[in-house]
Amino acid sequence: MIISVISGKGGTGKTAVVANVGASLASDFGKRVLLVDCNLESPDLPLWFNLFPPIPSREKKVENLKAYTYRPGLDVMPSSSIEGLKGEKLGQILRKSGYHYVILDTPPVGFSEFLNSSDCALITTTPDIAAVSRALKATKMAEKKDVKVIGVVLNRVRVASYEVSKTEILSTFRVPLIVTIPEDTSVMKSLMEGMPCVLSHPGSRASIAFKKLAAEICGEEFKMGPIQRIRLKGWKLWRSV
């Protein structure tokens, strides 16, 4: 399955979603995953895996395109490998690759060209009016191209009075709100460490949300451990104050 992660606006944490969901699908659910950086202007995806600059010893070929293995079951393809490849041509190549999931980290502008490569799309937005507006436009663009939108990810939620509420999100989009991901310092810490937070901080609130999203995508159950349940319960209590 090829999934385009789109937003229509920068700053929504789309690349963090791609990196962490991909890592969770591989590590928690045993899936073979390829993450593709489609952002030629700001190719940030390899930074999440400490693969910039590239590590020659980890290089591999995916249908004659260069990719790098982060760990068994999880490969990352830099944007330089797909330069000049878009639309159905890219989709044809990636469908032959043998992965359970190929996840495209699309650019905020020009993402529509990659929808033609995809089986479905996942929308990311933050709880502010500008991001929600752009995400709604991105959803409509995917629908016009007959690409199924599997749902919305509400990212970097602080539960502040000035944020667009979950209720407003549900009434705005005609697709499900799959998961709410809290603002969490572990996400940025993990970027500095060159490792997705689902691996470096697996019990953090954001990691739990990313794992739930991965479980939803692959149709499997995510079971939290006792520490994870305590952390999540604490956040829910804080939200209710």
Q: How far, in Å, CA of 240 to CA of 49, rounded?
A: 35
Dihedral Cα 178, 38, 84, 61, nearest 10 deg: -100
Contacts of 153 (CB under 8 A, 6+ apart): 17, 122, 123, 124, 125, 178, 179, 181, 213
| CB-CB contact of 129 with 169 (8 Å) | no
10: β partners: none
Residues in the chain: 241
HSE-CB for 75 with a 13 A CA cutoff: 22
- Of 3.10.20.30, 3.40.50.300, 1.10.1040.10, 3.30.9.10, the CATH number of 2-240 is 3.40.50.300
Instruction: Write the pLDDT tens digit of every residue in 161-182.
Output: 999 999 999 999 999 999 999 9
What Å distances lie between residue 106 and 9, 17, 103, 231, CA to CA? 11, 12, 9, 32
The position carrying tokens 């290089």 is 59
SS3 category, 2: strand
Note down pLDDT in tens along the chain; length 241 residues: 999 999 989 999 999 999 999 999 999 999 999 999 999 888 999 999 999 878 888 999 999 999 999 999 999 999 999 998 878 899 999 999 999 999 999 998 889 989 999 999 999 999 999 999 999 999 999 999 999 999 999 999 998 999 999 999 999 999 999 999 999 999 999 999 999 999 999 999 999 999 999 999 999 998 876 655 655 555 555 454 4
